[in-house]
Structure 1
Amino acid sequence: MRPPGLQQRSAAVPLAVLWLALVVYASLFPFDNWRWPPGAGLADLMRLRWPRWWDRFDVMSNLLGYLPLGLLVGLGALRGGQHWALATGRAVLAGAGVSYLLEVTQQLLPQRVPSLMDWVLNTGGATLGAVAALLLVATGLPARWSRTHDRWLERGGTGAVVLLLLWPVALLIPTPVPLGLGQIGGRLREVALALMDGVPWAERAVDWLQTAALTQRLSVLSEGLATALGLLAPCLLVYAASRPGWRRGLLAIGAPLIALVATTLSTVLNFGPDHAWAWATPDALVALVTAGLVALSLVWIGPRLAGGLALVALTGLVMLVHQAPTDPYFAQSLQGWEQGRFIRFHGLARWVGWLWPYAAMAWLLGRLRAVD
């Protein structure tokens, strides 16, 4: 029997899928040097052993890393109408099953150290998350969230909520310009060059790709425009899923605040507290204020027009950031994320930062088609 006030529509399901992707990435990174352990049989591969040593960071990361998964799976099941016992069991089994599969797979990666303790901690984290889901439902918070969702957003706005929640996460990865998400071309170029290395008939394509990598610094106007579009795009995305009115004004005011906090935190994580405001140049601040004022002036436009403008803003954003070079400090900060303890969070932030604009475009196109 479905708990009172709950509805089937829930952002918990897509968020659970995204968190699962993060867990897989963090567990199997760097995805290379796969090999079968020498002298090990299938039974040896399936058997997990207790570790000889451990540290506090590993314990906390393994425990807390699976808590959101258990929470989101539990909430999704409860909001789908499942009995609390079945929903709890599903969340715990999902965490335990995913953890065991990944721990066994880690035995094929020399860089990773699978252990029975990791599986116990992961399962415990998923169990804590499942219990937290039950407590949230008991307090009535999901039901109140549903009513707030219905007041602020139109039907089908769950995708916009998920994208809006992921936006500050995407901003935590270093970007070539403030709020300049979507610069995936460099990584795709590296993959293409690696695939064509040593291929005689691909020499012209290799030369073209290497030449395309030699970009010049964006002009001040282009950087400001990219920053403004980086703020305007999420505002228009939410407008495409909401009714015209004053509530949009609150979203337009909140977006610059989120951008300010996330970008400052990203700078602190990558360059240290002394450089926290290095990104906040006069040109960047002018761009943010301008984009905020434009967003406020558009609070009364219809959702369909807002969706079209959001697509234009996102297209302009990705075109501009792909013309921006990757400076040495940007590359160095990325390397620090990849080689340090940020590795367990690096995968989520990097991929979300690269793919957020394209996911937003896909959602907007689907939204516009549904309106037709």
Structure 2
Amino acid sequence: MGWLPSRLPPRRSSATLLAWAYAVLVVYASLYPFGPWTWPPGLSARDLVGLPWPKYWGGFDVQANLLGYLPLGLLLFAAAVRSGRGLVAALLIGLALPPALSFLMESLQYFLPRRVPSLVDWLLNAGGAAAGVLLGLVLYLPGGLTRWQARREHWFVPHSAGALALLALWPMGLLFPAPVPLGLGQVLPRLQELAASALEDTPWALQWEPGPLPDAPPLPPGLEGITIALGLLAPCVLALSVARPGWQRLALVFGAAALGVLSTALSTALNFGPQHAWAWLTVSSWPGLALGLGLACILCAFSRRACAAWGLVAVCALIALVSEAPSDPYLAQSLQGWEQGRFISFYGLAQWIGWLWPFAVLAWLLALLAHRDT
């Protein structure tokens, strides 16, 4: 076995956090719309141990089930290796856990009238996870994971797994269209609507209008540009708060800007058609992007602790401005097509990530500033 790369030293890895996040995605996509839960007529408890062979399936279902579990197998294998487990243990974890999760999800679909359990889906999920493990093995044998660890240690300080996981989730949050380009975190109006609905017809009923109305005037161009700048600045300061000093800080800033622009273009293309992919680049967007990129470049010269402190200011301001932005009636009409289509489970999860991502960044930056050795 001398041809195998040496076991990596145990260390908290962003692959572990991403594996948990992706498992949540799988559960969300498998059980949406989470009701109504009913016991199927004629189903006995003994029938739950097996899955039926479907009467029909389409090409999209085959691709979605096969590719959907591939990242989970890869992430579990990488997380096991990075945590210090041996190759055999990592292979068993990557090959056993995804099929077990898939079988549980398919079995629970018996109780959801809008979902159909399928043995083919389970086989495809298991095959996709195995392909992910194989991909991880291909990267592991020539020392690819070892080189990735060395590269990560060169670019980032220890204990940066949480920040890297949040940075990896940021593009997914951008796939659900924001009220302002790069403007994630518009969850406060939804919480107000939920509170108003829960307290309706009670002595504690809310006396204000919950959240911006669809026909409310849009943000002035200046505020819209500032919101876009803050939306770009948020991931940049998160990366700078865990980045080592050096030229790589500028590379991270420009990489985040390119990723944000491309993710927003992809989101616009998915909703309004490929011909409108760059329609969001308006007279307010260009100055906002330039301002956010310029501020991020200036912060490259600051300490990690200072970047984290400025990050708290930027993210709080982003949440405040995005909460005042009105919803887009054309966007709402476009989303009805998604809600009636096959991507609603994925799209709903992207929406939740977009809503909660800034608050997770706030929690991470606060925890970082709480450590005196930052």
Partner residue, 1:65: 68
Helix, strand or coil at the partner of 2:342: coil
Conserved in 1, the CA contact under 8 Å of 2:184 and 2:357? yes
RMSD of equivalent CA atoms: 1.8
Partner residue, 2:159: 156
Partner residue, 1:117: 120
Shift of 1:71: 0.8
1:81 matches 2:48: no
Q: Distance in 2 between matches of 1:260 and 1:318?
A: 20
Conserved in 2, the CA contact under 8 Å of 1:174 and 1:334? no
The count of residues paired between Structure 1 and Structure 2 equals 368
| 1:255-334 to 2 correspondences below 5 Å | 255-334=256-335
1:104 matches 2:107: yes
Amino acid aligned to 1:6:
L
Partner residue, 2:252: 251
Shift of 1:121: 1.0
Structure 1 unpaired stretches of 5+? none
Q: Distance in 2 between matches of 1:334 and 1:357?
A: 23
Deviates more, 1:62-71 or 1:335-344: 335-344
Deviates more, 1:6-15 or 1:335-344: 335-344
Q: Distance in 2 between matches of 1:116 and 1:231?
A: 44
Shift of 1:366: 1.1
What TM-score, normalized by structure 2, do the two folds share? 0.93
Conserved in 2, the CA contact under 8 Å of 1:216 and 1:323? no
Q: Distance in 1 between matches of 2:273 and 2:349?
A: 21
| 1:203-282 to 2 correspondences below 5 Å | 204-205=205-206, 207-208=207-208, 210-214=209-213, 215-282=216-283
Amino acid aligned to 2:290:
V
Amino acid aligned to 2:203:
W
Partner residue, 1:181: 184
Query: Does the C-alpha gap of structure 1 residues 213 and 289 become closer, same or farther in structure 2, counting only changes over 3 Å?
Result: closer
Deviates more, 1:298-307 or 1:339-348: 339-348
Q: Distance in 2 between matches of 1:271 and 1:107?
A: 35
Partner residue, 1:8: 10
What TM-score, normalized by structure 1, do the two folds share? 0.94
Query: Does the C-alpha gap of structure 1 residues 47 and 194 become closer, same or farther in structure 2, counting only changes over 3 Å?
Result: farther
1:166 matches 2:148: no
Partner residue, 2:366: 365
Conserved in 1, the CA contact under 8 Å of 2:189 and 2:210? no
1:28 matches 2:25: no
Q: Distance in 1 between matches of 2:336 and 2:354?
A: 15
Conserved in 1, the CA contact under 8 Å of 2:212 and 2:325? no
Conserved in 1, the CA contact under 8 Å of 2:53 and 2:120? yes
Conserved in 2, the CA contact under 8 Å of 1:231 and 1:256? yes
Q: Distance in 2 between matches of 1:324 and 1:95?
A: 40
Shift of 1:3: 4.5
